[in-house]
Amino acid sequence: MSSVRGSDCRARPTWPRNLGLSRSSLREAVRALSLVRILDVRQGDGTYVSNLSANSLVDTLSFIVEFHHDSSVLDLLEVRRILEPAASARAALRIGTAALDDLEEVLGRATTRSSVEDLVSADVEFHRAIGIAAGNPVLASLVESLSGPTQRARIWRGMTEEGALSRTLAEHRAIFDAIRSHDPELARTWSTVHIAGVETWLRKTLQQERDAG
């Protein structure tokens, strides 16, 4: 492992200002980078760089900055909150046995032991499968196209919000159970709760950033 003494890679006083981030956001970033094993935080010793891959560092750091300065993902989440409950309700009415089996298989790909990235990948596939099961190609295409741009925000939430992964799995299960029971209104409700959870978290995070700034 390539290491740098913690005193060398700790955020200097000018770093948050140069990046346009508050100190609380910088602490959050260090925590998230340690979760994806780019940084190794050793209590009482320091912070070490454990992954010097240019792609990993640039991609992660650019996302941290973009995430705290570009709230357009909120607009995408708002549209998801409108469309995906409708797709879930339609799927509850139209889904067949084979598609239901496929959806359950996707549901089983992620557990509480899965990495954040694996869980979000399964999340994307889960919503895509629901869009297809809704039986409207245009709606399915819209659901899929909106999922990608919000994927990194969902990964960030999974890294930084306690309990987010287990809640996501529980909400997926509730959506699936409603679809399997052919209950469109229950499927619509759980889908709304699921999308709104990410949206509410993001609004709160961005507001905290503005307040701290």
Residues 56 and 120 in one domain: no
Asked whether the predicted pLDDT for residue 52 surpasses 60, the reply is no
Residues 80 and 182 in one domain: yes
User: CA of 27: how far to CAs of 31, 47, 103, 114, in Å?
Assistant: 6, 12, 38, 24
pLDDT band at 51 (very low <50, low <70, confident <90, very high): low
Look up the pTM and report it.
0.70
Domain hosting 130: range is 72-212
Domain boundary among 69, 96, 111: 69
User: Any idea what the CATH number is for the domain that residue 32 is in?
Assistant: 1.10.10
Neighbours of 45 (CB within 10 A): 10
In this predicted model, what pLDDT tens digit does every residue of 156-176 receive, in sequence order? Answer: 777 778 888 889 999 999 999
Residues 55 and 144 in one domain: no
Asked whether the predicted pLDDT for residue 59 surpasses 80, the reply is no
Residues 19 and 84 in one domain: no
User: Any idea what the CATH number is for the domain that residue 180 is in?
Assistant: 1.20.120.530
Q: How far apart are CA 192 and CA 171, in angstroms?
A: 10
Query: Looking at the domain assignment, is residue 13 inside a domain?
Result: yes
Mean pLDDT throughout 136-161? 82
Residue 7: which H helix or E strand, with range? helix 6-9
Mean pLDDT throughout 114-143? 90
Mean pLDDT throughout 84-107? 96
Residues 180 and 128 in one domain: yes
Query: Looking at the domain assignment, is residue 173 inside a domain?
Result: yes
Residues 64 and 129 in one domain: no
Query: Looking at the domain assignment, is residue 64 inside a domain?
Result: yes
Query: Looking at the domain assignment, is residue 1 inside a domain?
Result: no
pLDDT band at 42 (very low <50, low <70, confident <90, very high): confident
Query: Looking at the domain assignment, is residue 24 inside a domain?
Result: yes
pLDDT at 66: 55
Q: Is 49 helix (H, G, I), strand (E, B) or coil?
A: strand
Total domain count, the chain:
2
